[in-house]
Chain A
């Protein structure tokens, strides 16, 4: 796999890392959801391209799942949740865009430093793919660590999961059953978290995690 095919795959995988960076500094929930949809769209394209290049037709299903569920259904659902909760106007204190960007850059460098030496035996595309996928996973974790809002946590978790799917698509011969189950587990997690958000909100009038922590602190004492 050389030339244009490699370049496009490289470009799409890199695009996911860029989308992860975009996620990091969105302080409005709608914007965050939109960028997540973009993230999933790029994932769908990347996986689809892998399917075409590798001639692995089952990967089209994975790409389809990514496109339908992660790029459309889940963002729409999250949109509705945010609207029903009435938090679409809240601004989330991201806490230093520069700091997060620097940390993110460091994580990407770390991912490449980790992945490239251990995968010398694999072909070039898989190596790049794995490095990018690890970077996406780490950035997703960083997003979850820096955010307070439960919706942002959900999105951080799902962007992390996108990174896993990217890694799975890059490595040849991952069975489809695993991917479907992973996708459905995310969907279920989504539903559960959605229900929890409403329940939490009924109890505390807020989806700010801080409120729950204060509540727990009080109960502890």
Chain B
């Protein structure tokens, strides 16, 4: 019953999309579309919560559509229920935000039809239970999100982003297609139940893992397949960016988990190593890229890459532990990864929506043209600050808990018997620690440059607080971030059915029985964390310190003109900028990773041009990985260009020659 209702609701979303095609220019259409999307997402969220927390058994349903001998299989189990929660929580909040934000959309007919279709696509991917349906709805999700990326297609950068996204989405789907083909075997058992029952040979299983990493990883933004993500996610309207970054990447991770943990059978130990190494590199590179960015939305998109890396570190550890039959540790790593998936969907949606509010208020995404927004937009600033603290893994917020759990899993790694893993895991742990610290730096920059200081442009000076719908959406997410941070035991208990399904029945001990809501992942002599106590301590010490300072220092303080270093009437341009904030990091890491070079152009005496500081950055992944491929493709296609202008006889002769050659080959081969 819940399953058929979910499918019906997904169909309702599609119907809303169709309705929006006809009615998108009408006045109330924006409200209608986002209102219905909000309602549907809330119902789906409730059903998924009931399924997961009620501990129900999986439900399956087969519809006579799709391939005639296969039908369309759908299934609702604990894993898909958890991801349904992530998707529909994000979808509901984004729809709520869009009730206000969508009013500012200049071309609603390019957004409204695809938005519900995109939501429906993501929901259906989670419910699909055979390879054909999965790939079909996966591609549907890709295409509808592509249409949303292209919503503002007149901007040249967006057209390029859309093209790159389309190419990478095709590549990803191709990889998944091959993976499912290998899983289904020569008999074509495309039903997931049949795939689960069949056992792949070690070679085929390794190939499937690599293909799943490429396919799901390209959608999730795993380095080096991330190049489209920081271009495409910011190009969409902000509530769609929130969905793509916060939610769609999670659907991609779902695809990987479904294949690697559910369909593929027992893992080999080096799978874990591969996933771990990719995750570690992704985390650090993602955050380094983010530090170099001055565009707020692009910075957030690069942070999505970083967080996907953290999630894959957890998944890789879980694979490594499972391969060695250490199911208790695998449960810990898996819980950490799933928890981080949930958390990232919360704070990344929050940050993107906050950026959307800034974008509405100022029309600017470039941090160097913002500043001082905390005065006109105090509530948005507060919500953004909570999101920034959460993504920087500061206690008592949720980001800290999941990264702490990941570190607990890393600390258990010396128990692994394989020496390569013994060396690799601490190195990845160091990368994770580095990326967490750099993420904090990056968000000090993002919040400080955007919201503090003085406005750097007239647009920033004239900003006004965003509308009430958007604020409610922001604070729903902010409160959830705080709640998941101080009550992590509840979330861990909620995740335990998912973990036990993926982990051969093993799961973390129930946390609800722990006193004082403490989180005890393994045993309490090892490590515990209590978010509530941390919150109370911070509240008391913070209030105490504020009171003390106010009592003893405020009275003594006096306001006077600021010391202006001898330059009166300092302009806002003399403030710290995003570039100057990131300069130390750029000098330490950028010179190696990005071959960053700084040049100072000092005009000779008498020349009236201003002095300039130029920074040159190279993208190693693009220049080493993609540029050669593009050059090769262009060279090949210009070589074969002549084939476009042959005569009919030449074409016929080519076909004929190819046929005769193949037949000859067949004769000689035998």
Contacts and interface: CB of A to CB of B under 8 A. Distances in A.
Given A107-B660, A209-B648, A209-B649, A114 B666 contact: yes
A110 interface: yes
B667 A138 contact: no
Interface string A86-128: 0000000000000000000001001101100100000000000
A148 interface: yes
B656 A209 contact: no
A133 interface: no
Nearest to A142: B656
Contact of A114 (B648, B649, B656, B667): B667
A97 B649 CA distance: 18
B655 A141 contact: yes
Given A110-B660, A114-B667, A209 B653 contact: no
A203 interface: no
B659 interface: yes
A220 B655 contact: no
B663 A114 contact: yes
Nearest to B645: A220
Contacts of B645: 216-217, 220
B647 A213 contact: yes
Contacts of A217: 645
B667 A110 contact: yes
Contact of B656 (A141, A210, A213): A141
B138 to A, nearest CB: 35
Contacts of A142: 656
Nearest to A144: B652
B652 A145 contact: yes
A26 B298 CA distance: 70
Contacts of A220: 645
B558 interface: no
Contacts of A107: 660
Contacts of B154: none
Interface residues of A, number: 20
B26 interface: no
Interface string A143-174: 01100100001000000000000000000000
Given A209-B647, A216-B645, A141 B652 contact: yes
A145 B660 contact: no
Contacts of B67: none
B565 interface: no
Contacts, number: 36
Contacts of B647: 209-210, 213
Interface in B648-670: 648-649, 652-653, 655-656, 659-660, 663-664, 666-667, 670
B663 to A, nearest CB: 5
A142 B649 CA distance: 11
Nearest to A106: B660
A148 B647 CA distance: 11
B580 to A, nearest CB: 55
B305 to A, nearest CB: 46
A24 to B, nearest CB: 14
A147 to B, nearest CB: 8
A210 B647 CA distance: 8
Contact of A110 (B652, B655, B656, B664): B664
Contacts of A210: 647
A217 B649 CA distance: 14
Contacts of A110: 660, 663-664, 667
A111 B666 CA distance: 11
A111 B667 CA distance: 9
B659 A148 contact: no
Contacts of A153: 648
A148 B649 contact: yes
Nearest to B663: A114
B240 to A, nearest CB: 43
B649 A141 contact: no
Contacts of B666: 114
Contacts of B653: 145
| Shortest Cβ-Cβ A-B pairs, 5 listed | A213-B647, A113-B667, A141-B656, A145-B653, A145-B656
30 contacts: A107-B660, A110-B660, A110-B663, A110-B664, A110-B667, A111-B663, A113-B667, A114-B663, A114-B666, A114-B667, A117-B670, A138-B659, A138-B660, A141-B652, A141-B655, A141-B656, A141-B659, A142-B656, A144-B652, A144-B656, A145-B649, A145-B656, A153-B648, A209-B647, A209-B648, A209-B649, A212-B648, A213-B648, A217-B645, A220-B645
Given A114-B667, A144-B656, A153-B648, 8 more contacts: A110-B660, A117-B670, A138-B659, A138-B660, A141-B652, A145-B649, A209-B648, A216-B645
